[in-house]
Structure 1
Amino acid sequence: MKTDAQRPDKARQANTHIQNRMAKNKMPVGEQVLAIFRELVGERASQLSIAIPDAQASIRQALLTKHPKEIAHDVAFHLTDWQSDAAFIVAILLFPERFTRAQIRDGVQRFAIHAPNHTAAAAKLCGFPVSDIFEIGALDAADND
């Protein structure tokens, strides 16, 4: 991958323009993520912000061969309910320069609050253990102080 110093002047100027425009961006992180995905996949980006994405049915159908209907349904829900949070992670991995610090903080917070319990529930329902492999007290009862 070429660095800015290796890019032709026009490309470097265009990249600087995008970075400056995004740095001034005040749109909420969810809107920023959808804007990025609309550029990448067009109308399919709507699947990242609807209540029941099409992928939920696909996951459920695929799991029915190994799990009862209720488990398949619940796992599909738990793997798709946080699709906008997953989209944030993918968008920040692909285009970190397009997010302000405030948007990044908001996206990280939204992900950290919403996604872990869903992924843990999906793992447990599929028969996989949920453990604290990093030994940071992740499974300890929340401190209410």
Structure 2
Amino acid sequence: MTYELKTKQNDRSVIEFIEGVDHPKKREDAYKLLDFFTETSGFEAKMWGPSIIGFGSYHYKYPTGHEGDAPLVGFSPRKAKISLYFATGDTEREQLLEKFGKHTSGKACVYINKIDDIDVNILKDLIRQSITFLQKMYPEKS
């Protein structure tokens, strides 16, 4: 049986998705995040699944044989909080998060309420750190 990834890159419009965010402040923050992630990552924003805005991509393969593609970094303006997606497993991430501002962390996500709660320079450091870390861990096969 093949495992089918739910979160795949697709051609849905990032702008249309952000325009569909109900809360005006969250929509405004989503546009700011779009700018920060685009500028810092150097990648064009793409929709991944129904609600993740991702930047760049990498191909992973686990020892179990499970493999797939995922965005290098991304975010999702969800109803409760804004989810930020950075690489996990790097100690530098934890050090940066200590200076990040008001947030909570899940296994793969960092959750914030609004951009005003965080240090934008640390956000940019997290984006850069995540991309560097993932590109080292999963170098592209030519």
TM-score, length basis structure 1: 0.25
Q: Which has the higher strand share?
A: 2
Q: Which has the higher helix share?
A: 1
Larger Rg: 1
Greater relative contact order, per chain length (Cα 8 Å cut-off, separation 6+): 1
